[in-house]
Structure 1
């Protein structure tokens, strides 16, 4: 009887240990960095954040850096204090990743800002999936074409004018194992001049991307209403 009891207890312990081990393994997912756009805020990612949480990510596995001026959109660019919070978040996410990889999702200017940090820090090999939403990877016609650009930081040498030195440097460089863009042809920022195309391609498309997806939600709606698509691309 005692032998049977010991056997039963042992079996229960093995089951419990197996369940615990499975639970720990299931929680080991890529850390995710969510980079908001120009004058945006971390709360812009609430839909994506909540969906990641419901799909198994813990709060400490999701990084939402807060960068740039909130009142002067024309003051923000890709060189200076804007980079610091994004760099800190990406490096922390990598250093604390149980999988050894991270995923990055950027919106608008957050796409090009995150890409720059990844390249400069030499971390492209540690990015499993990069998702760019409504970015201006090929520039903004509203900023002009460099050097005949609009005289603001956002549109200048380190900004989003067509063929700016920054964008020419960025183009074609690796930023992750898998790269996706999410775009709209009704984008109030990227397509404000009446065209979304830069030299024949949508400006939100990323060089060397794995795939691109088009919705009708507009510049800000793309971030808010494509959370399910964003999260599915991380798998």
Structure 2
């Protein structure tokens, strides 16, 4: 989640929104073949398996000779979520429903990947920001999936903070929004067919304006600080991210809700939809109450599949306001 710590009542809303969720048996974890490959190719120290968490990761081939027929999909979860968490009564089950849906449509575990970044602890959500640790971890995971699958193209789906993390992971390059600048490596944009951003705070969070740097997730360097006016004072990380016009893939889509109970304010930050960003090709706005912040992740699983396979929203309702340059 982006800012549940700022809105404690939202936790109850999220739990209510999860009624009817049935824990799926999707053989959680990374396969032995993928884990062995990671260890043999210099990725073992990253511990992408996240065995410290139930449902900490997912993906991999059953054997080295298993054929891959779809462009692999990598999912980036949101703040304090767990990749394919096993809880049936909280919101922390990551992209479980999306993975289950993709499997039902013919994808295999060899074509679907996710690992947990961060502690997977809701009580620590206010401490998470766009750190070098998280960006490097997700960048290396993405590079590993590309190399392991030998795919020429991948797809990436991000939810919440996974959107802004994912955008920088793809763009690569210098990250200056830190006391010690670093480089993530060359852009991976030419290797991404479709990038989908769901309920991301690309222009920050209004709630962060009230607490500022008191909470790390809201800080003005690499957090979700929205500034004090349109295009003025946005956190350095988000400003640099939006100023970088490198497109995140061949097809770039955004989905958001005016009923988002965590972003709040109709998704607006100084009159602009925070879930949109300059390089989006097309977007879809949801306006009914069931599309809460977490439900945007789960209820759009069919749209995620459609965008990846058809590159179209079909009969989507277009937002009445686009990203203001």
Where on the TM-score scale, by shorter chain, does this alignment land: which range?
A: 0.7 to 0.9
- Aligned residue for 2:208, secondary structure, equals strand
Match of 1:127 in 2: 192
Give the CA deviation at 1:59: 0.5
In terms of fraction of residues, the more helix-rich structure is 1
Unmatched segments (≥5 aa) in structure 1: 1-23
- Aligned residue for 2:207, secondary structure, equals strand
Q: Which one of 169, 179, 183 corresponds to residue 256 of structure 2?
A: 183
Whether 2:101 is the aligned partner of 1:101: answer no
Match of 1:77 in 2: 129
Contact 1:65/1:85 (<8 A) preserved: no
Higher alpha-carbon deviation: 73-82 or 220-229: 73-82
Unmatched segments (≥5 aa) in structure 2: 1-64, 85-93, 173-184, 227-233, 310-325
Contact 2:68/2:149 (<8 A) preserved: no
Match of 2:44 in 1: none
Structure 1 CA distance, aligned partners of 2:236 and 2:270? 17
Match of 2:293 in 1: 219
Contact 1:32/1:104 (<8 A) preserved: yes
Contact 2:193/2:251 (<8 A) preserved: yes
Structure 1 CA distance, aligned partners of 2:300 and 2:73? 16
Structure 2 CA distance, aligned partners of 1:206 and 1:109? 14
TM-score scaled to structure 1, two decimals? 0.82
Task: Work out the number of aligned pairs and report it.
Answer: 207
Compare relative contact order (CA 8 Å, sep 6+) and give the higher one, 1 or 2. 1
Match of 2:4 in 1: none
Match of 2:318 in 1: none
Matches within 5 A, 1:29-178: 29-43=70-84, 44-69=94-119, 70=121, 71-120=123-172, 121=185, 122-144=187-209, 149-156=212-219, 157-162=221-226, 163-172=234-243, 173=245, 174-178=247-251
- Aligned residue for 1:207, secondary structure, equals coil
TM-score scaled to structure 2, two decimals? 0.60
